[in-house]
Copies of this chain bind each other. A is one copy, B any other.
């Protein structure tokens, strides 16, 4: 058996010396503890999974296609369904521009490795989904950050001033709707300005859009950035939030000429996206059940969002600030500056068995804005648990404020 001494002797790549266990990994354990209420992770509601339809589709597939478990080329049928889904994001694309991935995270990782040199530059918000950093950190990148406005999203003026100052990042990472962790949707004017900038300076935008199809008010839906420019926006979609995360299937919509490069990189990474998962999703979508499923998800998640909003208004101190969201799974709450939400989390788990993600988990570099903020997921718990969990959190916050 190996002892710690052996491992210490293993020469790791330079970047790997600084790997730390991720907050999300640690919180996944808490999330599944039965006595706890967790608002921590971006989990969809398991009770809403279309188990029956998916089971029927899978059975049918296994019975009808003897090659269902064999290697294969990316599933054309699935790509055609994705082309139709993209119309809901105002994107008109062709099958040849759709590249299947093991979830949107793999899309980020592949695109980053295709565009970014070791020690190259990436531009993103200073409060952002930690997965983008995990995807690029083996390349030891230089990261330029800009602030975000909680009502209109990414500070595009700050982006402009980097670019006008001569910066040429390999790409700009952006989330148009249901921002993780801020919940915000980027204003249309900012989308237009960002896309114009990308086109003018030939800097690709990587548009991460796992929550784009989960909108709660039809009138507030906006076109994705990909809809505004087909050339310089590389789009990332996912079935994780709209169907089931355990299948790990997502997609990229990219200029067709990048396809063979992505294929080569993907083949070296994991050969291909699980053909059985591709086929089973295509088979489920063939039944025509997805549109109604999406409607049902939007209805239930918007109720949960409303429940959480009311519960926060009732149980959190008046000084807690947050903004309405029209997409996704998250509310972002800013507490009084004296509250360190990392410490708050420890107490919340220990004393009230309730969890969230502290803002610092999404902070780039030395930015301290998020240290008194929290991300709350509203999709995973039903209304009763949301009410109960927010009440518990309110008690912990009140004790911290009184200290």
- Judged by a CB distance under 8 angstroms, whether A131 is at the interface is yes
- Judged by a CB distance under 8 angstroms, whether A77 is at the interface is no
- Judged by a CB distance under 8 angstroms, whether A294 is at the interface is no
* A99-107, A152-160, A321-329, A345-353 - the one binding chain B: A99-107
Question: Considering only CB atoms, which chain B residue lies closest to A199 in the complex?
Answer: B6
Separation of A62 and B246 alpha carbons in the complex (Å): 12
Q: Which of B11, B55, B269 contacts A105 (CB 8 A)?
A: B269
Smallest CB–CB gap between A196 and chain B, Å?
15
Contacts of A46 in B (CB 8 A): 66-67, 69-70
Q: Interface digits, A269-280 against B, CB 8 Å rule (1 contact, 0 not)?
A: 111111111010
**Is the CB–CB distance between A267 and B22 below 8 Å?**
yes
Kindly identify, within residues 112 to 140 of chain A, every residue whose CB is under 8 Å from any CB belonging to chain B: 113-118, 120, 131, 133-138
A interface residues, tally (CB under 8 Å): 96
**Is the CB–CB distance between A255 and B24 below 8 Å?**
no
Query: How many identical chains are in the complex?
Result: 2
With most chain B CB atoms within 10 A of its CB, the pick from A58, A115, A270 is A270
- Judged by a CB distance under 8 angstroms, whether A384 is at the interface is no
Known pairs A47-B66, A69-B49; A103 contacts B24 (CB<8 A): no
**Is the CB–CB distance between A267 and B59 below 8 Å?**
no
Contacts of A101 in B (CB 8 A): 270
Separation of A14 and B261 alpha carbons in the complex (Å): 13
Q: Which of B49, B106, B170, B267 contacts A25 (CB 8 A)?
A: B267
**Is the CB–CB distance between A69 and B245 below 8 Å?**
yes
Q: Which of B20, B118, B120 contacts A264 (CB 8 A)?
A: B20
Q: Which of B21, B62, B258, B270 contacts A7 (CB 8 A)?
A: B258
- Judged by a CB distance under 8 angstroms, whether A402 is at the interface is no
**Is the CB–CB distance between B258 and A117 below 8 Å?**
no
Kindly identify, within residues 1 to 38 of chain A, every residue whose CB is under 8 Å from any CB belonging to chain B: 1-2, 4, 6-7, 9-14, 16, 19-22, 24-25, 28-29, 32
- Could you show 29 A-B contacts with beta carbons less than 8 Å apart? A9-B202, A10-B204, A13-B117, A19-B264, A46-B67, A46-B70, A49-B66, A49-B70, A59-B59, A70-B244, A71-B246, A102-B102, A102-B248, A102-B274, A105-B269, A105-B270, A106-B269, A131-B267, A133-B268, A136-B268, A137-B268, A244-B276, A246-B274, A246-B276, A246-B279, A248-B271, A248-B273, A248-B275, A269-B269
